[in-house]
Amino acid sequence: YFRGKMRGERAVKGSGVPYTIFRPSFLIGPGGEFTALLKQLTAFPVVPVIGPGNYRMQPLYVRDMARYFAQALDDERFVNQTLEVGGPETFDYNEMMRRTLAAQGKKGVLFNAPLFMVKPFVPVVEKVLPNLLSRDQLTMLLEGSMTTDRRLEEWGGFEQTPFRRAIQIALNSPPPATYAKAKMRPKQVGA
């Protein structure tokens, strides 16, 4: 997964065409895969956490990401830049799960499953429930997802949406109308 992304970035950079590459953290939004996963994981009073849960997270509201896309169209500072983008708050995975529970008005207990117990089952889960967890997703999760790139903050533009508000919107709003079309196969669009 990471190698594929890097090959794509190299191809874009080597094309000679002006570019802006965004490397976002986990995106939170209505209908999003990460949002659906958070909802599934917090559906019951015991919330499973892989490993110690101390990996750092900086989730970003999807509409904030869209605003950066729009800003990049008219702002020369974005030209030929690779920008890591995270949300306004950084916390560990355990805290993210607690905040997700709170946003739903729920209480729960985090169950930290030791990595040595989880890793052998990931290839099986990947085959049986590919949307739940893959080896690449586990690797990305354990590495955390945050940035120290502060250029977007320095360039200004807008105030990012705090996680609590982003997760409330994501969990309680229907996906945008364009979401269904994006999920269709090309021959189904317009049918």
Residue 17 CB burial class (10 angstroms; 0-12, 13-18, ≥19): exposed
Reading the block at residue 187, the tokens are 């021959």
pLDDT tens digit sequence for 102-131: 999 999 999 999 988 888 888 888 888 776
Closest CA to 135 of 145, 126, 143: 126
- Asked if residue 133 has pLDDT above 90, the reply is no
CA 74 to chain centre: 25
- Other C-beta atoms closer than 10 Å to the C-beta of 114 total 10
Report the alpha-carbon distance of residue 162 to residue 38 in Å, rounded: 17
pLDDT at 89: 96
Report the alpha-carbon distance of residue 168 to residue 96 in Å, rounded: 13
pLDDT tens digit sequence for 30-46: 998 889 889 988 999 99
Average confidence (pLDDT) over 38-62? 93
Query: In terms of pLDDT, which residue wins out, 43 or 139?
Result: 43
Q: Which range scores top for mean pLDDT: 17-21, 141-145, 173-177?
A: 17-21
Mean per-residue pLDDT of the chain: 88
* Side chain identity at residue 66, one-letter code: A
pTM of the model: 0.83
Predicted confidence band at 188 (pLDDT cuts at 50, 70, 90)?
low
Reading the block at residue 180, the tokens are 């269904």
- Asked if residue 191 has pLDDT above 60, the reply is no
